[in-house]
Amino acid sequence: MLKDLLKLKLTKNILLVSSGNIFAAGLGFITLLIITHYLSVEKFGFFNIGITTIFVVSIIADMGVDISVIKFISSSLGKNMEEEAKKFFHLGLFIKVITSLFAAFVLFLTADMVAIFFFNERSLSIILKISAIGIVLRSIYMYIKSVLYAYEFFKASVIQQLFIDIFKLLLVIVSVYALTFGTELALGIFALSPIIGIFIGYLYLSRVVSFSLWKGQFTEIKELFSYSKWIYLGSICDAMFYYSAIYLLTFMLSSEAVGVYSLAMN
């Protein structure tokens, strides 16, 4: 009987998350259609370079923490060790904030050099600087989302994603008709949108944990990374394999080539 109930709960959660992701993907697709309509191929290429940079650097700054906290928090909750779960939540949040801020700071400072010397595109500098802001917000959002999964707040994670995509769609529509729509504005909307997800996640998680500073021991960091190191390495390899084409096209050809490639991929 208990086994059947668990299966039913698992099935309902899978259906909830899957249907939410499909609907959110639809909203995201509509948003991209609007952006591609109002941006030139070259500008859409710049936009995709910015989005790709946010994704790739966020993965690098993650250090495998997102997957690890799901394992450690859910395991602790399964043993009714709520304080242990809170400890890993604070540790993971501390690491994510530090690593994402460091990565964003380095990218922001080196944006001019990377744009000119690596890609020979001076106008890429502002794109990379906007991406730096998006790295911090996306990193924290993805961490909050992982913690919601660990605490089995699946409905909250779906609401997060839907509100983020609705926010992006509405802002893009308003920007197109009320402002001068361009690459920087489009990228800025995508970079800032995770704030909505962070806020929603905070509302749910503040019921079970406090968003306070981590005050633990170095051994706890070692324990977390002992599990996450291979996951992290795999994530890096996946990101390099999936996103490397964007940077190679920028380096060897032009942002317009990236725009054509991105249109085909999307």
For 6-29, what is each residue's pLDDT tens digit? Answer: 456 666 767 767 777 788 788 888
* pLDDT level of residue 259 (50, 70, 90 thresholds): low
Which residue did the predictor score with more confidence, 227 or 137? Answer: 137
* pLDDT level of residue 222 (50, 70, 90 thresholds): confident
Q: Among 132-141, 147-156, 157-166, 215-224, name the most confident range.
A: 132-141
Average pLDDT, the chain: 82
* 225: amino acid identity, one letter: F
pLDDT tens digits, one per residue of 51-84? 989 999 998 888 888 888 888 888 888 888 888 8
DSSP character string of 195-207? HHHHHHHHHHHTT
DSSP character string of the chain? -HHHHHHHHHHHHHHHHHHHHHHHHHHHHHHHHHHHHHS-HHHHHHHHHHHHHHHHHHHHHHTTHHHHHHHHHHHHHHTT-HHHHHHHHHHHHHHHHHHHHHHHHHHHHHHHHIIIIIS--TTHHHHHHHHHHHHHHHHHHHHHHHHHHHTT-HHHHHHHHHHHHHHHHHHHHHHHHHS---HHHHHHHHHHTHHHHHHHHHHHHTTT---------HHHHHHHHHHHHHHHHHHHHHHHHHHHHHHHHHHHS-HHHHHHHHHHH-
* pLDDT level of residue 262 (50, 70, 90 thresholds): low
pLDDT tens digits, one per residue of 195-205? 999 999 999 98
**From 95-109, 142-156, 224-238, the region with the lowest mean pLDDT:** 224-238
Give yes or no for residue 187 having a pLDDT over 80: yes
Give yes or no for residue 177 having a pLDDT over 90: no
The pLDDT of residue 254 is: 67
Mean pLDDT within 215-229 = 71
Mean pLDDT within 138-145 = 93
* 239: amino acid identity, one letter: A
Which residue did the predictor score with more confidence, 10 or 174? Answer: 174
The pLDDT of residue 1 is: 47
Give yes or no for residue 172 having a pLDDT over 50: yes
Which residue did the predictor score with more confidence, 123 or 260? Answer: 123
Give yes or no for residue 2 having a pLDDT over 50: no
Q: What angle do CA 210, 211, 216 make, to 5 degrees?
A: 90
* pLDDT level of residue 87 (50, 70, 90 thresholds): confident
The pLDDT of residue 18 is: 74
